[in-house]
Amino acid sequence: MNKISAISYCFLMVITFLLHGVHGGGGDDTLENNCKKLASANISYDFCVTNLQVNPRSKSANLQELGLISMDLIVANATYIKSHIVKLQKEQGKGKSLSFRNSLQNCWNSYSMALYTANQVIKGMSTGPRYSYLQAIEVIHRSPNNCEAGFMKWKLKSPLTKENKHFEHLVRIPIQIITYMSQ
């Protein structure tokens, strides 16, 4: 088990003990049934299934395990976006305006903070109250908007709009899981 998986597993176990009134402990723990529970105005059933099914463990995961899987996906996606930003800086940064380069740097900073925060959430679950990690995930959720705002400030077209929208929706999954489990 690699370090991220071990830390993520600890995150899963802490969620189990910290959350009161846990739902979904029966035989209905399929990805489809859990995504039906989570589907709302904030997250569609199709988005939930499509994104979580990339991890084979999700097929029969309970909500706590889907929380773990979704955090793993957030870390992987933020890491990908940061590397994509570096690629854009190398390919498109030269010859572009200072405001474009600064906007890309703002995005890199936003996703660096998201990645750091996601890892802190995973690591720190045993010490913080439920609202604190929900608040931390909501900070992660703002990263794509912060990225887009940097481009909008200068009236520039963002080359990251597609990635930002996907990431924003992806972060809604653990928010929705925590909200559902807290009911």
Reported pTM: 0.81
- Give the per-residue pLDDT at 14: 40
pLDDT for res 129:
59
- Which domains does the chain show, CATH number per domain? 3-181 (1.20.140.40)
- Write down the pLDDT at residue 127: 56
* Rounded CA separation 155/149 (Å): 9
Q: What angle do CA 11, 76, 160 make, to 5 degrees?
A: 130
Residues in the chain with pLDDT < 70? 1-27, 93, 124-132
CA distances from 94 to 89, 90, 97 (A): 8, 7, 8
Output the pLDDT for position 27. Answer: 60
